[in-house]
Amino acid sequence: MARLFMKGTEAVAEAAVRAGCRFFAGYPITPQNEVPEYLSRRMPEVGGVFIQGESEVASISMVYGAASAGTRSMTSSSSPGIALKSEGISYCASALIPMVYSNFARGGPGVGSIQPAQQDYFQATKASGNGGFQMMVFAPSSVQEAVDLTYEAFDLADRDRNPVCILADGVIATMMESVEFPPMKSNVEIDAIKESKREWALVGHDFEKEKRAWIEPGHWQTKDMQKANEDAAAMYLEWEKDIRVEEYGLEDAEIVLTSYGISARVVKSAVSILRAEGIKAGYIRPITVNPFPYGAYDHINYDKCKAVLNVEMSIPAQFGVDVKVGVKDRCPIEHCLCSGGNIISRNAVLDAAKKIMKG
């Protein structure tokens, strides 16, 4: 199909529809209000359901219900709203309910600021709710990538029967870019997806012939709860094969910049300038921030690399903590950070890189 010029929020919403999402519940919060607004128009066109919930906690609970009934379902919010949704996200993880949510992150903590930030990294990758569960977390750095990852996220959520998080930010949300959409799933395909969940979903079962569906977000017996934790942990290990990362120029790099999401976009531009100026710079951009591509940092040529420069829109650094695990003290790590709704500037990144090279 023809390329379209679209805002990130609306493009993500359309990608979800094309992936077969037929239930969305959400609550207004800046900077992602166009997701519910778009879907309030779009869902009825495709026979789907849109509900503006009375709160974030209610919205995620509606998604929990709809997804428990076998329908591909989604919610969306921004940082403080995601904190509220963490209750339902944890329930989905515990009860093995597949669903997708997007976080168009803004400054924090608290009500924070409405401008873009990357201050929800730990929340997304380490503790999105109580109980130590994990999710696959995708960090798009363009509207097109947000579309592609959202579309695929539904397949991965269904594969694992686990929530999948799209960790974007206020820039991806509000920026307009040219995008090409994946194909629209047909009603036949969508029905088949729902049918494939029949055994466990709340679609009604004849208890004299088959087992009831029992959506269990917990277990009375501690041995059963531990078994569920062990099964989840085994699944998380299998995500190693799903790791996605973009690497550039690591073989000869004297300085390696690392970043994710929108700040990686700035980093890529800075690296090409540094190369043009004769500084051998490379970069590592995790696309999955959970599972984290720690192994990518083994590809750095530590005989040549003077330092790794972590660039993120969070003070203190959060992504940088995972970078440290990957680098394993093989070279110094410096940080170029901003926070609170400020967008990382290319000049700040260039200055930080040049300072390291001079030092």
Partner 1 sequence: MQKIYTRTKTIQQDKVSGFCPGCMHSTIIKLIGEVLEELDVVDRTACVLGIGCCGLQMDYMAYDNSTAPHGRACATATGVKRSNPESLVFTYQGDGDLASIGLAETMSAANRGENISVIFVNNGIYGMTGGQMAPTTLIGMKASTAPKGRIADEHGYPMHMCEILNQLTAPVYLERTSCNNPANTMKTKNAIKKAFRNQLDGKGFSMVEIVTSCPTNWGLDALASLEYIEEKMLPEFPLGVIRDR
Site for partner 1 contains 222 (CB under 8 A): no
Which ranges in 95-186 belong to alpha helices (H)? 121-125, 143-160, 170-174
Nearer to partner 1, 50 or 260 (CB): 50
Pairing of strands 163-169, 99-105: parallel
Binding of residue 207 to partner 1 (CB under 8 A): yes
Does residue number 198 form part of the binding site for partner 1 (CB under 8 A)? no
Among 66, 135, 305, 337, binds partner 1 (CB under 8 A): 66
* CB nearer to partner 1: pick between 67 and 352: 67
Question: What track of x and - describes contact with partner 1 for positions 75 through 114 (by CB under 8 A)?
Answer: ------------xx--x---x-------------------
Choice between 55 and 347, CB closer to partner 1: 55
Identify the CA nearest to 169 among candidates 73, 261, 51: 261
Q: Is residue 202 within the footprint of partner 1 (CB under 8 A)?
A: yes
Instruction: Tell me whether residue 133 or residue 181 sits nearer to partner 1 (CB atom).
Output: 133
- In the region spanning residues 127 to 146, those forming contacts with partner 1, defined by CB under 8 A, are none
Alpha-carbon distance 106 to 116, whole Å?
Answer: 4
For partner 1, the binding residue among 8, 20, 36, 70 (CB under 8 A) is 70
Instruction: Establish if 61 lies at the interface with partner 1 (CB under 8 A).
Output: yes
Buried b / exposed e over 46-63, threshold 16 CB at 10 Å, is bebebbebeebbbbbbbb
Region at 335 (left for phi over 0; alpha for psi -120 to 50; beta for the rest): beta
| Residue 326 main-chain phi, psi, to 5 deg | -70, -40
Supply the minimum distance, in Å, between the C-beta of residue 267 and partner 1.
39
260 closest CA partner among 60, 70, 124: 124
Q: Looking at beta carbons only, is 216 or 351 nearer to partner 1?
A: 216
Interface stretch with partner 1, choices 19-27, 152-160, 168-176, 280-288 (CB under 8 A): 19-27
Q: What is the largest CA-CA distance in the chain?
A: 77
Query: Cα angle vertex 38, ends 187, 157, to 5°?
Result: 55
Measured in residues, the chain has a length of 359
Q: Tell whether residue 157 is a contact of partner 1 (CB under 8 A).
A: no
Residue 86 parent element (H or E):
helix 79-94
How many residues in the shown chain lie near partner 1 by CB under 8 A?
A: 42
By CB under 8 A, which span of 137-145, 150-158, 176-184, 201-209 interacts with partner 1?
A: 201-209
In single-letter form, the type of residue at position 61 comes to S
In 3D space, the residue among 66, 117, 138 whose CA is nearest the CA of residue 318 turns out to be: 117
Q: What are phi and psi of 306, to 5 degrees?
A: -80, -40
Which is closer to partner 1, CB of 67 or CB of 349?
67
* C-beta closer to partner 1: residue 60 or 262: 60
User: Can you tell me the distance from the alpha carbon of 94 to that of 15, in angstroms, rounded to the nearest whole number?
Assistant: 26
Contact between 67 and partner 1 per CB under 8 A: yes
Interface pick for partner 1 out of 51, 93, 139, 338 (rule CB under 8 A)? 51
13 binds partner 1 (CB under 8 A): no
| CB count in 10 Å sphere of residue 203 | 15
C-beta of 49: minimal distance to partner 1 in Å?
5
User: Which residues of this chain interact with partner 1, rule CB under 8 A?
Assistant: 22-23, 25, 49, 51, 53-55, 57-59, 61-71, 73, 87-88, 91, 95, 202-208, 212-218, 220
